[in-house]
Amino acid sequence: MKKKKEFKRPDGRKPDELRPMQAKVGIVPNADGSAIFSFGDTIAIAAVYGPKKMHPQHQQDPEKGTLRCNYSMLSFSVDDRIRPGPNRRSREISKITEWALEPSLLIKRYPNMVIDVHINIIQANASTRCAGINAAAMALAQAGIPMKNIVSSVSIGKLDKNLVVDLNKDEEDWEEGEGSTDIPITMTPNGEITHIQLDGRITKEQLKEVIELAGKSAKKVYEVQKKALKESVKM
């Protein structure tokens, strides 16, 4: 009987192993809240400004505040320099970040106001939107924006038929078998999903496994975020 070939990730990690994570808050002095979060070589910095009066006035919402996110990959964040400035991808991820964060914020306390969140990816090796959401959540917490819960984001991937946690660039570009499927998910510590995307193909049964794997991984991210926030209070 032919022995089944053992699946190995390109960087040698176990299927459920995240890259080393680092997090710190209060890194931008003139922001109301700021944070840095990294998955291995992917590094995101988030800065929060507000709440402040929304201008122009016609964009004000008398019933609740507005969360306005701006995601950007800096031109030197990847080996092949990218064109600076907004593009279709950055606008899409900016909007997705708003959707991922807003359910956890008590935004109704700020009618006619806006909270601006600027996210810059200074180094990229996949999972940039997840790193950005994690940094933004910490920055919002440090800024004192009231929350039901902090959110934590992680990417779950399917390489051919194998589920893995926290995709890197080599895994995003996986071409063997069924290729690569990327599923970024954002969750609260109690398992509420605030954001999920699917780029690729997956069965209904595997999607259940993905949610379970994401829940366990998001808790690990949450512990890193919580530790960084606690350390900032001691300083």
Q: Which domains are seen in the chain, by residue range?
A: 21-229 (3.30.230.70)
**Phi–psi pair at 135, nearest 5 degrees:** -65, -40
Report the pLDDT value the prediction gives residue 15, as an integer from 0 to 100.
Answer: 93
Lowest mean pLDDT, pick from 13-17, 42-46, 76-80, 206-210: 76-80
Query: What integer is the mean pLDDT of 153-180?
Result: 87
Q: Which residues of 13-45 are buried (b: 16+ CB within 10 A; e: fewer)?
A: beeeebbebebbbbbbeebbbbbbbbbbebbbb
Does the pLDDT value for residue 82 go beyond 80? no
pTM: 0.93
Query: What integer is the mean pLDDT of 6-24?
Result: 92
Residue 127 to residue 188: CA distance in whole angstroms: 18
Asked if 157 and 167 count as a contact pair (C-beta separation under 8 A), the reply is yes
Triad 151, 114, 141: Cα angle to 5°: 30
Query: What integer is the mean pLDDT of 226-235?
Result: 86
Element (H, E) at 210: helix 204-234
Residue 11 to residue 170: CA distance in whole angstroms: 9
Report the pLDDT value the prediction gives residue 1, as an integer from 0 to 100.
Answer: 45
Report the pLDDT value the prediction gives residue 232, as an integer from 0 to 100.
Answer: 83
80 confidence band (pLDDT: 50, 70, 90): low
What tokens does 233 get? Answer: 């209070």
**Which range scores top for mean pLDDT: 62-76, 102-116, 171-185?**
102-116
Give Cα 3 distance to the centre of its chain: 39
16 confidence band (pLDDT: 50, 70, 90): very high
User: What secondary structure letter does DSSP report for 24?
Assistant: E
- Which residue, 165, 169, 73, 57, is CA-closest to 122? 73
pLDDT tens digits along 102-157: 999 999 999 999 999 999 999 999 999 999 999 999 999 999 999 999 999 999 99
**Phi–psi pair at 133, nearest 5 degrees:** -65, -40
85 confidence band (pLDDT: 50, 70, 90): low
For all residues of the chain together, what is the average pLDDT? 91
Report the pLDDT value the prediction gives residue 180, as an integer from 0 to 100.
Answer: 81
Report the pLDDT value the prediction gives residue 234, as an integer from 0 to 100.
Answer: 66
Pairwise pLDDT comparison (163 vs 179), residue with the higher score: 163
Strand order of the sheet with strand 113-123?
Answer: 21-25, 33-39, 42-53, 113-123, 66-73
Alpha carbon dihedral 9, 10, 12, 15, in 10-degree steps, equals -20
